[in-house]
Structure 1
Amino acid sequence: MNPRIAFVAAPLLTFAYGVIRILDGLDGSRGPGLAWTTGHLAFIAAMGLFVYIFSQMRRMAGGDALSTVIAVVATAGALALTTQFTIDVVAGLLSADNLSMSLLSREIRDTPGITFAAYDVGPYLFYVGQFALVVRLAVMRRIKGWTPLLVLCDLIMPNIDKDLIPLGAILLLVSFASISHRAPSTDSRSVPSTAKPTPTLV
């Protein structure tokens, strides 16, 4: 995959989730149904792209130990959010109404370790890791200095009001579009080397 596509698609999918979420709640409740499932699947797809993006950011930072640790933390957070949203999708598909969906979700969450990993702690690793990676790239002057500010605004928006997710996604799109211009256009393993062979001194 071209990294630049991922940097643009992830915020767009997050934006789609935020908009669908708002539309789903216009009748006073959210889920189950097509909107609930579609919105959550869009977010899960975004998480998959974020994992790829984190690996690209790590490469942009030089792939050193610190950037590797941060990327692992961010990836763990993305997996936690994926688990959380997968639970929501499954509960929605197996339920006939909002009440039964909520009860089923609560039952799944009661499984030992699920609440801690997928709700209480895990998701915050995604936000902290993502911001840390962007800050590291900015400190290393690999990306624009204003980029971390937009990413931080995006991360704060849902904590103010989840209806602000689309606005945060737009800010993230602006910042990620800027980062994408600094990212390699293709995986380095697929790019043929153009370097001339070094002559052997006899």
Structure 2
Amino acid sequence: MSLFAVVFPALRRMAGPTTRAGRLSASAATLLGLAGTLAVVAQASIDLVVGFRAADRPGMERLFDEVQSHPGVLPAVYTVGPVLFYVGLVWLLVQLAVRRRVSPWRPVMVVLGTVTTAVSLDLLPLAALLFAAVLIPPARPLPSASPASSARHPLG
């Protein structure tokens, strides 16, 4: 997850020179995605610390209650915050797909990966594969992309 701290700025750079509104849109999506990434990393860190500190399931529940009782932790780390990751990623990929910088199937795969995680956390490995497929560079550039632009845009 922490690698998305590098992925979001790279996707933002792929948006390249565009209108002021396009730059603002890509920047806003990047900021949302980075905020969501921070929330997910914080959530995973809390989960790991609680898991290591607790001796049993009731101990884990007590520690989670203690952490989540602090004002703002629940929405920032467990409910609203993580959603920002998905919103930012889909937003950026849709913007790039509209500009023909990435294939249109990439935002669709992110939505499928997101739905997969919402169905069950047991499906997290499948969702990870879907996200990985989105980020794998294509074998060949998009038809409208020139060779020079496809080098700048590795997720065509």
Q: Which has the bigger relative contact order, CA under 8 A and spacing at least 6?
A: 1
Q: 2:63 — aligned with what?
A: 104
Judged with a 3 Å threshold, the aligned counterparts in structure 2 of structure 1 residues 110 and 137 are, in CA distance, closer, same or farther, namely: same
1:77 aligns with 2:36: yes
Q: Residues 21-40 of structure 1, C-alpha deviation per residue, up to 9 Å, x if partnerless?
A: xxxxxxxxxxxxxxxxxxxx
Letter in 1 for 2:14: M
Q: 1:135 to 1:180 in 2, by over 3 A?
A: farther
SS in 2 for 1:48: coil
3-state DSSP class of the match of 2:3?
helix
Corresponding residue for 1:131?
A: 90
Inter-CA distance 156–70: structure 2 relative to 1 (3 Å threshold): same
Alignment correspondent of 1:119: 78
Match of 1:56 in 2: 10
Cα distance, 1:131–1:180 mapped onto 2, change above 3 Å: farther
Q: Kindly report the root-mean-square deviation, in angstroms, between the aligned alpha carbons of the 2 structures.
A: 2.2
Query: 1:4-15 counterparts in 2 under 5 A?
Result: none
Check conservation: 1:143, 1:178, Cα contact below 8 A. no
Q: What stretches of structure 2 of length at least 5 have no aligned partner?
A: 18-22, 141-149
Return the index of the structure with the highest Cα Rg.
1
Gap change, CA 1:80 and 1:179, over 3 Å in 2? farther
Write the distance in 1 (CA, Å) between the matches of 2:115 and 2:10. Answer: 23
How many pairs align?
A: 140
2:150 maps to 1:150: no
Contact residue 144 and residue 178 of structure 1 kept, 8 A: no
Partners of 1:92 and 1:121 lie apart in 2 by 23
The TM-score with structure 1 as length reference comes to 0.64
User: After alignment, is 75-84 or 94-103 more displaced?
Assistant: 94-103
Tell me the TM-score normalised to structure 2 length: 0.81
Residue 98 of structure 1 and its aligned partner are, at CA, apart by 2.1
